[in-house]
A = this chain, B = another copy of it.
């Protein structure tokens, strides 16, 4: 028998704590996003850059679709647990064509790549967004009936390499890496391999881990991410993960582009 989450029980009590509270009120209504009037009261400068440079310019650039920009942005926000902007960007992602189940798969993927606690927080916020839009993803498969095809040779090489390097450092990590990640998570059909790679690379840049980018950027480009899209991913991340994260990642992107002969494109 599998364990059951018991800790939600007391939270339910809060929802009915005050009989006068609006029905729709829930814990996540207390997300700390500022209104536009609050933005202007505090920082006309920040409101200006947000409206004119980010919303008015960045999001409309060529080279990366609005849908992809939403996936990159959500990866950066979830990785850094920047929950204040999540309601807005979950809604924008749905408007930009990311499906509810793709959001579910993204959060699940980022649980493994950025830590469980980030995904838990994201699920809570997305639940409110789904409720407000009348979306229910509960019929999506917990375990898919069919999985994406596996490149068995590449996976055998990966296993061999990781096992030789780290098999006697942490067998637990090495085994879960194979069984949970590469033979399971990455083969779930709910999110295209190219999209899994895009959010993985975005998460690595946002987390400040350029040392892990080489493997995943190559994989992303093997999975169909163009050089132009990778380049614009960095532009999007400059705003949502901060300039220094991007400047630390650029030498790695350059070296991957060079090794694939696409730097001068």
Contact = CB atoms under 8 A, between A and B. Distances in A.
B170 A206 contact: no
B208 A207 contact: yes
B127 A41 contact: yes
Contact of A6 (B4, B29, B63): B4
Select the residue from A1, A48, A142, A242 with max chain B CB neighbours within 10 A: A242
B12 A35 contact: yes
A194 to B, nearest CB: 19
Contact of A32 (B28, B46, B114, B242): B28
Interface stretch (A53-61, A150-158, A218-226): A53-61
Q: Is the interface of A mostly helix, strand, loop or mixed?
A: helix
A190 to B, nearest CB: 7
Contacts of A114: 242, 244
A137 B44 contact: yes
A143 to B, nearest CB: 6
A4 to B, nearest CB: 7
Interface of A: 1-22, 25, 27-56, 61, 63, 76-77, 80-85, 87-88, 91, 103-105, 107-108, 111-121, 123-127, 130-132, 136-138, 140-143, 165-166, 168-173, 176-177, 180-181, 188, 190, 203-204, 206-209, 211-212, 231-232, 234-235, 238-248, 250-251, 253-254, 257, 263-264
10 nearest CB pairs, A to B = A82-B117, A172-B235, A8-B35, A18-B18, A48-B142, A43-B104, A38-B127, A34-B124, A2-B56, A44-B142
